Chain A
């Protein structure tokens, strides 16, 4: 792995907990799709938690149920989370299309079968080298492996930054 920035353990990530099947229309509502991400982000997840966009702080993490990000290909869904400073999403499964979009935008998705054990509002530790999440009570939750090139993409801040580097080098 070349993404050294992605290999440190970080603490103090506050958990925002959501249920199963959080779809892209909840993350980036169609009614605001004409706007840029700065216009969409204030409405991110408002259908299920109206206070979220207002109260989420940089470094917070989303913990969700199965099938996070199902629905549309609109990358404004992960972009809104990045814009709001969400550090990572932790869920047992994702929409495959959302998975690609998230990494392309530099948003880390941790696939964690035991995500449901984490509680809303608690503070967790992430270790991106070991790919683990540690709960406030010290319970260690393993996550599924992520290919190195995707971790590199997150470390670079997304595909666009990688393309920028590639263009600069060529």
Chain B
């Protein structure tokens, strides 16, 4: 495990950290200093916290070209406090002449790769716990707090303990109506919310390789809910093609992989036998097959968040709802993850299908997922495509929030109670 022999097989995590640390090899458990290739923060974790600390230190940003600011948490502004927070971000961005600022066009974890900022091999940090989303592209990315972000912004460096790699090996293919969200809820249910032990989780196997880029992003995104530091997927032709569509050309990526024989702890899963998963209140690890919850009536179905409102998620929901109306007494709230995804969904007729079914469409922002913007009343049952159902998370202490895939959320909206999407899919 602590082998530093130059010919020893290495994990993808070891290769990524070694590159960032300027070393040939790094051993599991060793603490190393890494050069940061990209630091992302948003209106909540960023300027309002960084600006006063930087001013107090009299420090400047180490490299503005490596900083990305996304306004997504408090937009659209709903009250004086959120207006103040967003104004601080906008003023600071102007003052600092930051070259990469994305204001109200989508959620940071989706906007970042959409704009070509994430490439295989990078070492990145984000001021948000769902930053491991970048792992879907074969980048070592994880979340840090605002004070640590000040350290990064001033020095361009960050310490990391070289993680063990926990491989989640998924055999076979997912059946129709199943998604990366179901795979993740199943794994989180099995391992618990800290099963990842702040190590590197790597998703692999036939079912993972077959996933679209956005589905892979959902997997890496939710590795935060397993307590992993990052959630990696080795980049391949799917990654290259997706990036090329967005103007990012990456040559050979085949070396960004875990070598055969590298020291990993493996867990084995069969995608073919997976059933739709639902996480009951108040933990993403409180997971069971959808059939265990079909007596639960729902009043709100929420399709939103970086986890569950990307184009592929919207398409899945539309597949269930096209040509139907949601049940009486149910509110279907849709907040697409980015404007680019929403526009594509409009062009494809996906948004029309959702609206015709009775969906109310909200801004492309974090919205009700983080509970910052309100919107979820007290005492209701919610089924959501989001990542977290902690007590009070969506802003209501008494709401019962169930987590599921966009297929399952759409099917539940259709029937008015938690439903297995395979029973309603055309």
Contact A34 B194 (CB under 8 A): no
**Contact A66/B194 with A25-B390, A72-B129, A163-B150 known, Cβ cut-off 8 Å:** yes
Partner of B371, one of A31, A67, A104, A160: A31
- Chain B residues, CB < 8 A from A34: 74, 81-82, 85, 372
Contact B148 A21 (CB under 8 A): no
Interface of B is mostly: loop
Q: State how many angstroms separate the Cβ of A159 from the closest Cβ of chain B.
A: 5
Which of B126, B145, B151, B193 counts the most chain A CB atoms within 10 A?
A: B145
Which of A21, A29, A72, A73 counts the most chain B CB atoms within 10 A?
A: A73
Is A127 an interface residue, CB under 8 A from the partner?
no
**Contact A30/B151 with A73-B143, A93-B194 known, Cβ cut-off 8 Å:** no
Q: State how many angstroms separate the Cβ of A87 from the closest Cβ of chain B.
A: 19
Contact B392 A31 (CB under 8 A): yes
Is B210 an interface residue, CB under 8 A from the partner?
no
Q: State how many angstroms separate the Cβ of A129 from the closest Cβ of chain B.
A: 21
**Contact A159/B150 with A30-B395, A167-B57, A167-B59 known, Cβ cut-off 8 Å:** yes
Contact B150 A47 (CB under 8 A): no
Range of interface residues on A (Cβ < 8 Å): 35 or more
Contact A70 B194 (CB under 8 A): yes
Contact B53 A160 (CB under 8 A): yes
Chain A proximity mask over B351-389: 1 for CB below 8 Å, otherwise 0: 000000000000000000011100000000000000010
Which of A53-61, A94-102, A116-124 lies on the face that meets chain B? Answer: A94-102
Contact A97 B151 (CB under 8 A): no
Is A105 an interface residue, CB under 8 A from the partner?
yes
Chain A proximity mask over B37-80: 1 for CB below 8 Å, otherwise 0: 00000001100000001001111000000000000001000000
Per the bound structure, the CA–CA distance linking A2 and B150 in Å amounts to: 23
Query: Which residues of B, 209-240, contact A by the 8 Å Cβ criterion?
Result: 224, 227, 229
Partner of A104, one of B56, B58, B126, B151: B151
Q: State how many angstroms separate the Cβ of B167 from the closest Cβ of chain A.
A: 18
- Chain A residues, CB < 8 A from B150: 159-160, 163
Which of A25, A70, A149 counts the most chain B CB atoms within 10 A?
A: A70
Per the bound structure, the CA–CA distance linking A147 and B372 in Å amounts to: 36
Contact B154 A163 (CB under 8 A): yes
- Chain A residues, CB < 8 A from B229: 96-97
- Chain B residues, CB < 8 A from A31: 371, 392, 395
**Contact A47/B144 with A73-B128, A147-B31 known, Cβ cut-off 8 Å:** no
Contact A99 B198 (CB under 8 A): yes
Per the bound structure, the CA–CA distance linking A71 and B145 in Å amounts to: 12
**Contact A21/B372 with A71-B388, A97-B143 known, Cβ cut-off 8 Å:** no
Contact A73 B127 (CB under 8 A): yes
Per the bound structure, the CA–CA distance linking A15 and B414 in Å amounts to: 50
Q: State how many angstroms separate the Cβ of B57 from the closest Cβ of chain A.
A: 5
Is B415 an interface residue, CB under 8 A from the partner?
no
Is B331 an interface residue, CB under 8 A from the partner?
no
- Chain B residues, CB < 8 A from A149: 159
Is A74 an interface residue, CB under 8 A from the partner?
yes
Contact A47 B372 (CB under 8 A): no
- Chain B residues, CB < 8 A from A99: 198
Contact A164 B57 (CB under 8 A): yes
Is A33 an interface residue, CB under 8 A from the partner?
yes
- Chain A residues, CB < 8 A from B129: 71-73, 97
Contact B392 A47 (CB under 8 A): yes
**Contact A29/B145 with A93-B194, A167-B59 known, Cβ cut-off 8 Å:** no
B residues apposed to A, CB below 8 Å: 31, 44-45, 53, 56-59, 74, 81-82, 85, 126-129, 131, 142-148, 150-151, 154, 159, 192-194, 197-198, 224, 227, 229, 283, 370-372, 388, 390-393, 395, 397
A-B contact pairs, 13 of them (CB 8 A): A25-B393, A66-B194, A70-B193, A73-B144, A74-B44, A75-B145, A97-B129, A97-B142, A97-B143, A101-B144, A101-B145, A159-B151, A160-B147
